[in-house]
Amino acid sequence: MNNTIKKIDIEKILFFDTECVRRNKELELDSREFQLFQKKTRNRETDEYLTNEEVIEEYKKKAALKRGYSKIVSIGVGFIRDNEVHIKAISGEEGEIIKQFCQIASAFDYVCGANVLSFDLPLLVNNGFRTFDVPTVLPDRFLTSGKKIWNLDKVIDVSDIFKATHYAMSSLDEICYHFGVDSPKTELDGSMVSEEYWTNGVDKINKYVKQDVFAVINVFRKMRYETTFEGFLDKNLGGNVEETTQQTLLQELYNTKNFSTDFQERLRKQLKERKMLKKEIKTVEKLLLSHYLTKVDVMSYDKKETEASNKERTLEIKNFIKTL
């Protein structure tokens, strides 16, 4: 296996996995999506088209894996602290899922997953661009577009490591089998995710994505000749600093723009429940600023007032950070 991964501090890695589904529950015959998908699924050699029924069936089975026809419904993220595995699933509106992942990833030096170089990261960026400017949130070290593989040393792809110089990629389940790691596909597999989502919602998918992340972590451990973990702390069942600062309190700050003494005390209490690295504190500062400052409209008559207000708010945040 790759000796380089043995030298990486495992606490600096964010492990992740994405789950995506077909963009719509049904493919409407008179829709633009149908016309585009019909062209995409035609026989390239004979230029013959599938029947309408065949196109619809193909859409249900494979659209989730085709660029432009899918949407992300859940991202699992996991990290190691004090030899314990922490994992949570992020779900909700697609743009917010991706943005929250980008914010979490910015606090880590590396990201790691299965087939993330050719699928997950490009998918995150492409789908994220539907709602926001991804490179302003996701660090350049995790952006794959236009880069050679040797320029992506901060992205660890266990599928690529396992593939080595072989011509074919293996699935995460196959890699798990090779290393003797428990299969994460106990209740769902990738082919079932779309139907599960459009029939029952995201709950079961959230559970599934966390199992995938846990499997990636144990495969990574095996690749480093380390013992595997037996279980993980499910952060969807109990709060932690990432969940609190990036969801509940940050959302409150964004909505109210009120960095009151009471708010500061609540935030300080939750942040002090764990020992934070300087880098993590810096990330909290960036998140607070992004949610507290008001966007300046260069065409607005009150531009100067907004800029002055933002200066005061920035000072408030920096003074608060000094107290941590």
* pLDDT at residue number 6: 87
Spatial contact of 184 and 78, defined as CB atoms under 8 Å apart: no
**Quick one: angle between helices 32-40 and 52-62, nearest 10?**
90
307 and 220, same domain (yes or no) = no
Series of mean pLDDT values for 10-residue runs along the chain (324 residues) = 81 95 92 93 89 92 90 95 91 92 90 93 91 86 80 89 79 93 85 91 93 96 93 69 49 74 83 69 81 61 74 91 86
* pLDDT at residue number 2: 63
For residue 239, which of 103, 86, 106 has the smallest C-alpha distance? 86
250 and 125, same domain (yes or no) = no
Helix, strand, or coil (residue 94): helix
What pTM, to 2 d.p., does this model score?
0.71
Which uninterrupted H or E stretch holds 71? strand 70-81
* pLDDT at residue number 22: 93
133 and 281, same domain (yes or no) = no
* pLDDT at residue number 241: 37
Structure tokens, 198: 């459009």
Residues 247, 91: Cα–Cα separation, whole Å: 12
Distance of CA 81 to the CA centre of its chain: 19
111 and 229, same domain (yes or no) = yes
212 and 97, same domain (yes or no) = yes
Q: What is the DSSP string of 186-220?
A: SS--GGGHHHHHHHH-SHHHHHHHHHHHHHHHHHH
310 and 196, same domain (yes or no) = no
As for how many domains the chain has, the answer is 3
Residue 210 CB coordination number (10 Å): 23
Task: Scan for tokens 């966390």, then name that residue.
Answer: 210
What domain range is 136 assigned to? 3-23+68-234
Spatial contact of 37 and 63, defined as CB atoms under 8 Å apart: yes
- Among residues 12, 41, 65, the one where a domain terminates is 65
Strand partners, 78: 15, 87
Helix, strand, or coil (residue 252): helix
- Among residues 234, 254, 286, the one where a domain terminates is 234
Residues 106, 15: Cα–Cα separation, whole Å: 13
Tell me whether residue 96 is exposed, middle or buried, using C-beta atoms within 10 angstroms of its C-beta: 0 to 12, 13 to 18, 19 or more: middle
Strand partners, 87: 78, 234
215 and 104, same domain (yes or no) = yes
123 and 45, same domain (yes or no) = no
11 and 118, same domain (yes or no) = yes
Strand partners, 111: 14, 155
12 and 151, same domain (yes or no) = yes
Residue 149 sits in a domain whose CATH number is 3.30.420.10
In 49-185, which ranges are continuous DSSP H helix?
52-62, 94-105, 121-128, 158-163, 172-179
Residues 311, 294: Cα–Cα separation, whole Å: 10
- Among residues 188, 211, 234, the one where a domain terminates is 234
* pLDDT at residue number 172: 93
* pLDDT at residue number 276: 65
Distances 86 to 97, 236, 263 between C-alpha atoms, Å? 18, 10, 26
Backbone angles phi, psi at 171, to 5 degrees: -75, 160
292 and 248, same domain (yes or no) = yes
* pLDDT at residue number 184: 87
193 and 281, same domain (yes or no) = no
